[in-house]
Chain A
Amino acid sequence: MLEIQNVEKRYGERTVLRDVSFTVPRSRMTGFVGGNGAGKTTTMRIILGVLAADGGTVLLDGDPLTADDRRRFGYMPEERGLYPKMKVAEQLVYLARLHGLTPTAARRNADALLDRLGLGERSNDLVESLSLGNQQRAQIAAALVHDPEVLVLDEPFSGLDPLAVDVVVGVLRDHAASGAPVLFSSHQLDIVERLCDELVIIADGEVRVAGGTDALRREHGGGRYELLVAGDVGWLRAVDGVSVLDFDGGYALFEADDATAQAVLRRATADGGVVSFGPQNPSLAQIFREAIGK
């Protein structure tokens, strides 16, 4: 488990991270969401040790991170970059060797990864000759080529076509399944929604929301229910303690406490013809908007 504890970062007078704490559990995909300038990239750079924090610590399985630990991290910076005039495979081998792999292991990993990402044919092409989407895939390969134990990826999906997103998602899930903590940031809330088991929302350098997505949904769902019946639910407006948010013939979205909701369900069942009833889970976008207070 990767733990970020009370991390602070200031640039002169400006505080960019204020008491940032959250955990990235093993075997889980943790989504890191926030607006531009919220502090995602700074946090990730501090985790990787590329930037020094002004306070706080980062722990891996309870121990402060060492340079040795960090070498086993796979990192994809927000600002993409590879040597434009180097061949794809050669570049991956170089990075893997900097991480301490033997030439043979580096070569093997690079080839396997390029095949999996659909770049096997292009492995001897110069990076600058690849399309942007393929450069993005190569970038992901660069983060994974040394078999990292922890993954920290800044916007790994930006610029990928849907097929490539699926491939990358598959690769990341495999890493999580093998027990690696995986932290990734994204602007694309729908991808985060589909992908992450844990969610961290950051705004203005402060963590606003952190936890498992299921729990968060329940928490932020806050007593919203959807009811769909065969007939008409116009009677719902008259029930005490119910505020109807949306109404359309047999469909209603309403807010109520647990007991009232149960009473509504009993009444609807008595009328007969209940098609569906259940709590409405807020989308990530809703949680996000609520968390950053907009």
Chain B
Amino acid sequence: MSATPSHETVPASTTPPAPSFASGVWLVAQREMVTRLRSKSFTISAAILVLGVLAAVLLGGIFGGSTESTKVAVVGSAAQVVGSTEGLESVDVATRAEGEELLRSGDVSAIVLPSSGTPPVTVVGLDSPPQGVLAALSIQPDIELLDPASQPTGLIYIVALGFGIVFMMSALTFGTMIAQSVVEEKQTRIVEILLSTVSARVLLAGKVVGNSLLALGQIAAIAIAAVLGMMVTGQKVLLGTVGPAVAWFVVFFVIGFVLLAAIYAAAASLVSRSEDIGSVTSPVMILIMVPYFLVIFFNDNPTVMAIMSYVPFSAPVGMPVRIFLGTAEWWEPILSLAVLVASTAVVIVLGARVYSNSLLRTGARVKVSDALRG
């Protein structure tokens, strides 16, 4: 077929078959992804986020004392145990008191005392269990704390904060992008051409799929950067405990993001100008930011965390934190995931309705109730 069909009398016989729902969605998704990846602001901010996480993990490793040569004060026969351990550098001291002096001044990370029990040493830390030393000794010796910290270790805080920040940043970034892409099509009116070709559902699904894939890609890159960082800095203990939580986080994030993406698209379809995006997406932003603040302030509150880990909007942050803390039963992430999937399905149906009923209404903001009624 050529673009000048003067020689064709019955074009119907040469028309191509209809693209299926899936191929239509994929075409739209592809365009979304290509457009984003070509935008410098997107690639730069994505790179910054990944590098930021990598830097945080690396710095945490270096300043966290988990480097290869952790200095420990060794008393008496404990030297036999420590001396044969890789990654620990012994500083021989005569008495425990001498060791405590070094420990308090920060010259050593821990004191290793001989002990009559099994294993035959006691590790003395300052304010928290010296993770690196424990990892290196690879058996669980008795632990004594001179000044026990009133809170659980700061690591929990950092991990919780990490999940919270990564979820919030990614959801906000990609949610805003979906909103912009929806309004761009309304504002430039190309949506009418698109709707004369494909259904609103194909359009919506394509946007959600395209942006979710990008978001997943970014989250995966962040996860890989974090894991690589831990391996490079030798934080094997951390990797062992955080690893499963990170894996669950990625799974929860994908579903949770699809949920938010559908809400963002539906909300954005209510307005016709990019200046108005803020007014309709700010309620969604609150839904995204609340889990972030909750996880910062309540990561040591089991009740709040348990509720968070089941509420669809906060589950992507709440459940991985509980998995990291080891407070979640094996079936809990699965149940929470089921709740999340079910609520996502409902939101997609409602969102698609709002979206297709609002797309051609330009001008004033469309009321949600009108858009739902059609």
Contact = CB atoms under 8 A, between A and B. Distances in A.
Interface of A: 45, 48-51, 67-68, 70-73, 75, 77, 79-86, 94-95, 97-102, 105, 108-110, 112-113, 116, 142-145, 147-149, 171, 174-175, 177-180
A79 B362 CA distance: 11
A149 B190 contact: no
Contact of B190 (A82, A102, A110, A180): A82
Interface string B105-149: 000000000000000000000000000000000000000000000
A125 B55 CA distance: 39
A81 B191 contact: yes
B366 to A, nearest CB: 13
B154 interface: no
Given A100-B15, A100-B16, A178-B7, 5 more contacts: A72-B15, A83-B185, A98-B19, A100-B17, A116-B4
A68 B199 CA distance: 11
B5 A81 contact: no
Contacts of B1: 105, 109, 147
A50 B189 CA distance: 13
A77 B19 CA distance: 22
Of residues A70, A80, A116, which shows the largest number of chain B Cβ atoms within 10 Å of its Cβ? A80
B197 A99 contact: yes
Contacts of A72: 11-12, 15
Q: Which of B12, B17, B192 has the most CB of A within 10 A?
A: B192
B346 interface: no
Contacts of B27: 94, 97-98
B360 interface: yes
A70 B3 CA distance: 18
Interface residues of B, number: 39
A72 B17 CA distance: 10
A167 to B, nearest CB: 12
A112 B184 contact: no
Interface in B16-70: 16-19, 24, 27-28, 31, 35
B101 interface: no
B5 A147 contact: yes
Given A68-B18, A83-B184, A84-B188, A98 B6 contact: no
12 contacts: A49-B196, A50-B360, A73-B196, A81-B193, A83-B190, A94-B27, A99-B197, A102-B16, A149-B11, A178-B7, A179-B9, A180-B5
B216 interface: no
Nearest to A115: B3
A130 B345 CA distance: 42
B16 A179 contact: no
A100 B19 contact: yes
B9 A81 contact: no
Contacts of B191: 81
A147 B196 contact: no
Contacts of A80: 189
Nearest to B17: A100
Contacts of A113: 3
Contacts of B338: none
Contacts of A82: 188, 190, 193
Given A77-B189, A83-B184, A179-B10, A50 B16 contact: no
